[in-house]
A and B are shown apart, each in its own frame.
Chain A
Amino acid sequence: MIKLYAMLIVIALLGGAGYGAYAYYKDSQARIATLTTNNAKLDGAIKTSEAAIASIQKDMKKVNTQLKKVSTDFADIRNQNSKLAQKLETIDLGILAINKPKSIERAINGGTKNAGRCFEILSGSPFTAREKEAKDAKSFNKECPWLWPGSTSTQ
């Protein structure tokens, strides 16, 4: 009877040890699988972060490009806007009007018409036949020659 109990105890101990080894193996495998998954996820997260940094850098480049372009365009626009003031500084409109009222009247009426046409073009008005056929910026519109489609200069 004692022999039987001893045998049962030995079997129980061996079984317990075997189960322990099996559980340890299973747990290790599960840990390895989790760590592998985590590693792969971290790898993906790093790639995503790198892509985000690249995207921000690219956007910053675009911001700088647009800022430079707008600054250049603004400088050109200010330059265009100063032309009339420069022209008016060199002439005495009152004296010219007294000496040549008819020709000055014609000139300012033509200038007013051209200046109005500049606003129309800026608002999206299609070009007239005369504007389409213009060979150069001056014949296109004397008040805003830079709006001529063939113009390379913004002056």
Chain B
Amino acid sequence: MLSHSIKSVLGCGLVVLLLSSCGSPVAKINVSSKAVEKPVLTLPPVDVVRMRTIDWVIITEENFADVIAKAKKNDKTIAFFALTDDGYANLGLNFSDIRALVQQQQTIIGAYEQYYDATKKFEKQKVKKDVDIWKFF
């Protein structure tokens, strides 16, 4: 009877021992994230403007005949595209407004460049810092 009980206990112990070896520890999963930089936007520069020559001719009542004669002498077509003094002033002011617009646009582009270049440098430093912090784990 005793030998049977001992055999049962030892048998159960052996089964438990064998089953326990089937289990293996679960491997710890390590997840790491890495910031991927956006490709740099490289754009071509604007075309350089080449302004064509414009020759203004002032025609008054006094010099009208002289201007016509000079134009005929130089084989020019006798057709003038005229402006009054106010029209000329307005044309000048319009060009001045366009120049101001170009300058304002350039200022805005410059501001964007400065802001994003500085931010990019700061982000690079920040990412390095974050990676260093998370490397600790």
Give the interface of A toward B (CB within 8 A): 1, 4, 8, 37, 40-41, 44, 47-48, 51, 55, 58-59, 62-63, 66, 69-70, 73-74, 77-78, 80-81, 84-85, 88, 92-94, 97-98, 101-102, 104-105, 108-109, 111-113, 115-120, 122-125, 144
Q: How many A-B residue pairs have CB under 8 A?
A: 124
| Interfacial chain A residues near B96, Cβ < 8 Å | 81, 84-85, 115
B115: chain A residues at CB < 8 Å are 62-63, 66
Q: Is there an interface contact between A108 and B88, defined as CB atoms closer than 8 Å? A: yes
Report the bound CA distance from A46 to B104 in whole Å.
Answer: 42
Q: How far is the CA of A119 from the CA of B93 in the complex (A)?
A: 14
Chain A residue numbers with a CB within 8 Å of B84 are 94
A interface secondary structure, majority: helix
Complex CA–CA separation, A8 to B2 (angstroms): 12
Asked whether B48 lies within 8 Å of A124 as measured between CB atoms, the reply is yes
Q: What distance in Å separates the Cβ of B136 from its nearest Cβ neighbour in chain A?
A: 7
Q: How large is the interface on B (under 10, 10 to 19, 20 to 34, 35 or more residues)?
A: 35 or more
A70–B104 CA distance with the chains assembled, in angstroms: 8
- Of B18-26, B35-43, B51-59, B71-79, which stretch is located at the interface? B51-59
- B38-94 contacts to A (CB < 8 Å): 45-51, 53-63, 84-85, 88-89, 92-93
